[in-house]
């Protein structure tokens, strides 16, 4: 019985120390409006991503699944194939690469 409690405690500790902070960081990254170029119109358009889905899939699968939650064009009744997400995915990858780069020592 004590071994089972120890395993449960270790798993809970892993969730609190590793999984939860990763999920919160991803949620912060994908939350809020961003401007992308709509491939259909070639005009800048403001979109909001489904941050919760992106954070959960990124935490559990290692790669976030991006979906549009709100878009200026969707409000006007247009349909969308979400092709603009390719640019969002690349910008997040660049941001991650910049943030994970080690800082050089001071001179």
pLDDT by residue (tens digit) across 58-67? 888 888 888 8
The model scores a pTM over 0.85? no
Q: Give the Å distances, CA to CA, from 40 to 5, 19, 36, 55.
A: 56, 37, 12, 27
Angle, CA of 90, 92 and 98, to the nearest 5°: 105
The alpha-carbon radius of gyration of the chain (Å, integer) is 19
At residue 99, the pLDDT reads: 41
Strands 44-49 and 33-37: antiparallel
Q: What is the pLDDT of residues 3-35, one digit of tens each?
A: 999 999 998 888 788 788 888 999 998 898 888
Percent helix, percent strand, percent coil in the chain, to nearest 5: 55, 15, 30
Distance CA 18, CA 12 (A): 10
- Domain limits, the chain: 20-97
């Amino acid at each position: 019985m004590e071994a089972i409690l120890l395993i449960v405690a270790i798993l809970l500790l892993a969730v609190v120390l590793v999984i939860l902070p990763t999920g919160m960081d991803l949620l912060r990254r994908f939350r809020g409006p961003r401007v992308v170029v709509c491939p259909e119109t070639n005009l800048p358009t403001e979109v909001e991503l489904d941050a919760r889905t992106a954070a959960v899939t990124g935490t559990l699968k290692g790669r976030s699944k991006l979906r549009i939650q709100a878009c200026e064009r969707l409000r006007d009744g247009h349909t969308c194939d979400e092709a603009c997400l390719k640019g969002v995915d690349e910008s997040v990858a660049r941001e991650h690469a910049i943030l994970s780069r080690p800082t050089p020592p001071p001179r």
